[in-house]
Structures are given as structure tokens and as C-alpha cells.
Amino acid sequence: MKHVDVWHDIVERNIQLALILEDDVIFVPFFKEKLIRMMYAAFNSNALEINERCVKAKWRSISNDEWTHQNPMIVIGTCLNLHGQHFQSHLWNASPILTTHKAHASRCSHAYILTLCSAKSLIEQIQQQKNAFLPIDHMQNYLFRLSPTLQSFWIDPPLVYQGNQVVDLDQLNTFAKRTYK
């Protein structure tokens, strides 16, 4: 329930943009630079907007691939080595990609970004939907599917890994040691 507490804190403190991390994350090398580039791309594509006006529910729910006019969550972490279907994970130098994932919003709750509007929308969904206590990853998936305004984006390759799932960093493409000639 700590995640839900953080969502409430974002709203109460009027925080426009928040990075939520669990306590056992492992950052990729050059995390800060990669995060800044990813944020720039998200703002540039209008997937991420910070303003006082939140997207409100219309007569229909947003589409599974909606990039604009939504309340976003950007998932920057992974714990199950899941990737977006268009990411070429077999290539060691695959270009970073941002993809939409409304139906399966959370690949891991260890590292994600919310806007004030996203936090408000999540809290609104909790209040509207009767649900049993679920692990946060499953709860996010449930709430995003039901929400007419929430959209999830995944960044690939991920910028954060779940610490207790990583046994050998050299097996992760973003950590592998390479020899360049």
C-alpha cells in the first residue's frame, strides 16, 4: 500500500512530476543522462505533459495506443525482463523506444514516473472500483484497464532493474561489458 500512499502524497503536495522507486533498484550506467533523454522524447512526442488541466473521461475510453490526451505513467524499470513488442532486445545496440501498454500497464512497479494528473486518476479509479487487495503490479494493470484516461508507456531498454532479480549484470544488455576496437 506504500505506492497508493505515494499517489496520495503526490496529489496532496501538488507534485507535477514524480519518480517512484522501490528500495532495491539497480540503475543502468549513465542513468541520469538516459532519463533526461527519455523525458525529452516523452515531452516532445506529447506522451508526457505537465499542466494544470488533467484529461477527463469522455464518452469513450482512450485507445490502447493513445499517445496524447491521456494521463500517463512511464514505466522505466523491469523485473521480469519484459519488453515492448517492437523493441529489438536481441540487438546489443537497439535504439531506445517508448511504447504504449494500456492493457498490461505495469511490467514492474520498481520504477515509474507519474504526473499529478496520473496520480489523481489512479486514486479516482481506486475510489470508483471495488477491488480486492492486489500486489501493486497487478493493481496497476487492473486500474489502467478500467480507467478511461490512464495510459502506460514503457521505455526500452529499461533504465532500472529490480535488484533481487539480477544475478549476473553481464547478462543484461545495458550492463554487458563490451570490447571495442
Say if residue 93 is exposed, middle or buried (CB neighbours under 10 Å; 0-12, 13-18, 19+). exposed
CA–CA dist 25, 130 (Å, integer) = 31
This prediction's pTM? 0.85
CA–CA dist 42, 36 (Å, integer) = 10
CA–CA dist 52, 48 (Å, integer) = 13
Coil, strand or helix at 120: helix
**149 DSSP assignment:** S
CA–CA dist 121, 179 (Å, integer) = 46
| Predicted pLDDT of residue 180 | 46
Once rounded to an integer, what is the mean pLDDT over residues 121-132?
Answer: 83
- Could you tell me the residue ranges of all domains in the chain? 2-49+61-82+91-171
Strongest mean pLDDT among 69-78, 83-92, 96-105, 157-166: 69-78
CA–CA dist 179, 181 (Å, integer) = 7
